[in-house]
Amino acid sequence: MTEDIDVTEPSKPGCPNCTEPVFEGEAFCEACGHPLTAEATAAVKAGRVARDGATAKAFAGARPGTRPTRRTEPNAPRRACTECGATAIDAEGYCEHCGMRQPAERDHVEAELPGGTAAGVSDKGRRYARNEDALAMAPLPGGVAVVVCDGVGSSPDPDDASRAAAETGVAELTARLASGAGPEDAVRDAALKAAEAVAALAESPSNAPSCTYVSAATRRDAATGAASVTVGWVGDSRAYWLDGTASRQLTEDDSWAAFMVAEGALTEAEAEAHPNAHVITAWLGADADEVRPRVRTFSPGGAGTVLVCSDGLWNYAPRPEDLVAVLAGAGCDPVRDPLGAARALVRFALEAGGRDNITVAVIPVAPDTEHAQ
Does 115 have pLDDT greater than 90? Answer: yes
Q: Which of 187-191, 221-225, 364-368 has the highest mean pLDDT?
A: 187-191
Distance CA 142, CA 221 (A): 8
- Of all helices (H) and strands (E), which one includes residue 57? helix 56-61
pLDDT reported for residue 15: 74
* Architecture per CATH, 108-370: 4-Layer Sandwich (3.60)
Q: Is there a contact between 174 and 187 (Cβ–Cβ < 8 Å)?
A: no
> Under 8 Å CB-to-CB from 5, ≥6 apart: which residues?
35, 41, 44, 45, 51
pLDDT confidence tier of residue 223, bands split at 50, 70 and 90 = confident
pLDDT reported for residue 28: 66
Q: Is there a contact between 125 and 358 (Cβ–Cβ < 8 Å)?
A: yes
Mean pLDDT within 321-333: 97
**pLDDT tens profile 249-258:** 999 999 888 8
pLDDT reported for residue 25: 60
E-strand ranges in the chain read 108-112, 119-123, 133-140, 143-150, 210-211, 213-220, 227-234, 238-242, 248-249, 284-285, 294-298, 304-309, 358-365
Dihedral sign from CA coordinates of 328, 331, 335, 337? negative
| Cα-based distances in Å from 47 to 22, 43, 50, 59 | 23, 6, 7, 12
Does 26 have pLDDT greater than 80? Answer: no
Q: Domains of the chain: which residue ranges?
A: 1-68, 75-103, 108-370
pLDDT reported for residue 66: 28
Q: Helix or strand or coil: residue 340?
A: helix
pTM: 0.74
pLDDT confidence tier of residue 62, bands split at 50, 70 and 90 = very low
